[in-house]
Amino acid sequence: MADDHAAKAIGCYGAGINQTPNLDRIATEGMRFNHCYVTNSICTPSRAAILTGTYNHVNGVTTLETPIDNRLPNVAKHLRTGGYQTAMIGKWHLGEGELHQPSGFDFWSVLPGQGEYFDPVLIEMGKEVEVSGYATDIITDKSLDWLNQRNPDKPFFLMCHHKAPHREWEPHPQHRQLYQADIQTPETFDDDYKNRAKAAAQAKMRIKDDMTYADLGLVQPEGGSEVGERARDKSLRRKIPNPDDVSALRLIDKDTGEIFTFQSKAELSHFKYQRYIKRYLRTIASIDDSVGRLLDYLDHQNLSDNTVVIYTSDQGFFLGEHGWFDKRFMYEESFQMPFLIRYPRIVAQASMCDHVVCNVDFAATFLDLAGLQIPSYMQGNSFLSLLAGGPDGSWPDIAYHRYWMHRDPDHNAYAHYGIRNQRYKLIYWYNEGMGLPGTNHGGEDREWELFDCEKDPLELFNVYSDPAYQSVVIHMTRLLDKKMAEIGDEPAHSSPNPGHP
């Protein structure tokens, strides 16, 4: 698993912005999912849903500030009880200390918090160790070391979780020169956020306005009253200006000292986007190398035929769509997770799945693949039948999303919840109503959005109030109500439709 890896930045998903031959191998030898979704598009909650097979209002990990209670059952505990050797290596991001560190794993070695790209500290079985090198390489080395020392007579479950391509996108030195030619800018890069709920215009996730010096590997020219390391760190976290007059702006590459100047605002925007996307894609090049090493290992050990290999990310990411970086929203780019799976015994080569699956389904699927019982507390469904191919008429094809962190100071992203099926997406923004039961239910401040994902895949036109879509609004609201009742999440909306039950 990677952190913040958008499907678009994997070769086999077809966007054509980068090459990932090793990740593509999983797809050509297995199955690519086109509609895998996250239940809460942010790191910590997604990881909790994956581990426990429950939604965030049940596992309690609703935000970045709510660490997991590691006494909860999780998929690793079930697999270990079922005879598996288990390991968790790399990005954990579910909390630290006795009650929040990994549990259910025979071996664990994890980055504290977000972790560092270079010379990271790891917490290994409760002890701090510092390892020199590049995080993606180190996580891969440790994964291979663990595989080598395992008992070959017992099955194994390894979670190899990379930090990359998370902000602040520090590439390995050997990949710093990759992607010299410009990457195509998405067609919604200059989105004006008309026809949408106000959250889109309010979010502070814009490449033009909200990138920091550190994000883009830049430093400010010398000067100012502050000196020393602390001042330097503070200045790196400062946003790069986006002034109307760019003539005085000078940006300096932190590694080479190269100085950049600009003739126009458009030129500055272009520079920021290219700098961002190239740094992001360069960190993915290292992940691709890592996946190649793991696949080669399985080949050399004659394990490929009998091992399920999955590549995914904790959520998607905006790569300039709507002018944004980051995630959090139920809009498609951050809502969709890449999901590739290879398992020659069941999964046909170069197959594709268009059914709607979610990260909350992973744990049940893992247990099903292992031939173990799926415990009744899990809320996700095993999609083993979809892996075997062919249509499944009984599969629900519904994804529920709820983002709880209302207007955090860094991103100002609004809390919301909603539902997507194959065709439509319904989103409820409770805005200052906070969505708490017993509050004003969002009151007049609330907003609904409905997108026709077939006719409007870029999600530029909210058709919630369009008379032509009123029967769809009613249908989707019923699906949402039914889903919330099924999983026990409390709605903050009152019935918006006349005649609605």
Q: Which residues bind Ca ion (CB under 5 A)?
A: 3-4, 43, 314
Minimum CB separation of residue 62 from Ca ion in Å reads 15
Minimum CB separation of residue 1 from Ca ion in Å reads 9
**Toward Ca ion, which CB reaches closer, 91 or 278?**
91
Q: Is 462 helix (H, G, I), strand (E, B) or coil?
A: coil
Half-sphere exposure of 441 (CA within 13 A, CB side): 9
Minimum CB separation of residue 307 from Ca ion in Å reads 25
**Toward Ca ion, which CB reaches closer, 61 or 347?**
61
Minimum CB separation of residue 470 from Ca ion in Å reads 37
Half-sphere exposure of 308 (CA within 13 A, CB side): 21
Minimum CB separation of residue 258 from Ca ion in Å reads 30
**Toward Ca ion, which CB reaches closer, 43 or 484?**
43
Minimum CB separation of residue 41 from Ca ion in Å reads 8
Q: Which of 251, 232, 231, 233 is nearest to 241 (CA)?
A: 251
Q: Order across the sheet with 447-452: list the strands.
A: 399-403, 416-420, 424-429, 447-452
- Give the separation between CA 35 and CA 42, rounded to whole angstroms: 18
State how far the alpha carbon of 126 is from the alpha carbons of 100, 139, 152, 231, 233, in Å: 11, 17, 26, 33, 29
Query: Which residue's C-beta sits nearest to Ca ion?
Result: 43
Minimum CB separation of residue 43 from Ca ion in Å reads 4
**Toward Ca ion, which CB reaches closer, 144 or 337?**
337
User: At 313, which amino acid appears?
Assistant: S
**Toward Ca ion, which CB reaches closer, 7 or 79?**
7
Q: Which residues pair with 123 in a beta bridge?
A: 110, 128
- Give the separation between CA 205 and CA 414, rounded to whole angstroms: 12
State how far the alpha carbon of 425 is from the alpha carbons of 240, 289, 358, 361, 413, in Å: 34, 36, 15, 20, 19
Beta strands 107-111 and 85-91 are: parallel
Minimum CB separation of residue 190 from Ca ion in Å reads 26
- Give the separation between CA 320 and CA 154, rounded to whole angstroms: 45
**Toward Ca ion, which CB reaches closer, 44 or 382?**
44
Minimum CB separation of residue 379 from Ca ion in Å reads 21
Written as six digits, the tokens of 18 are 């980068």
- In the DSSP assignment, the letter for residue 119 is S
**Toward Ca ion, which CB reaches closer, 314 or 361?**
314
**Toward Ca ion, which CB reaches closer, 4 or 29?**
4
- Give the separation between CA 417 and CA 405, rounded to whole angstroms: 11
The residue written with tokens 């912005």 in the block is 17
Minimum CB separation of residue 160 from Ca ion in Å reads 15
Beta strands 85-91 and 156-161 are: parallel
**Toward Ca ion, which CB reaches closer, 404 or 464?**
404
**Toward Ca ion, which CB reaches closer, 143 or 359?**
359
- Give the separation between CA 366 and CA 23, rounded to whole angstroms: 20
Number of H helices, E strands in the chain: 13, 17
- Give the separation between CA 450 and CA 311, rounded to whole angstroms: 31
**Toward Ca ion, which CB reaches closer, 43 or 492?**
43
- Give the separation between CA 47 and CA 54, rounded to whole angstroms: 11
**Toward Ca ion, which CB reaches closer, 401 or 493?**
401
Minimum CB separation of residue 327 from Ca ion in Å reads 7
User: At 46, which amino acid appears?
Assistant: S
Written as six digits, the tokens of 99 are 């009650």
Minimum CB separation of residue 314 from Ca ion in Å reads 4
Burial of 124 (0-12, 13-18, 19+ CB in 10 A): middle
- Give the separation between CA 115 and CA 380, rounded to whole angstroms: 29
Minimum CB separation of residue 23 from Ca ion in Å reads 17
Burial of 222 (0-12, 13-18, 19+ CB in 10 A): exposed
**Toward Ca ion, which CB reaches closer, 91 or 282?**
91
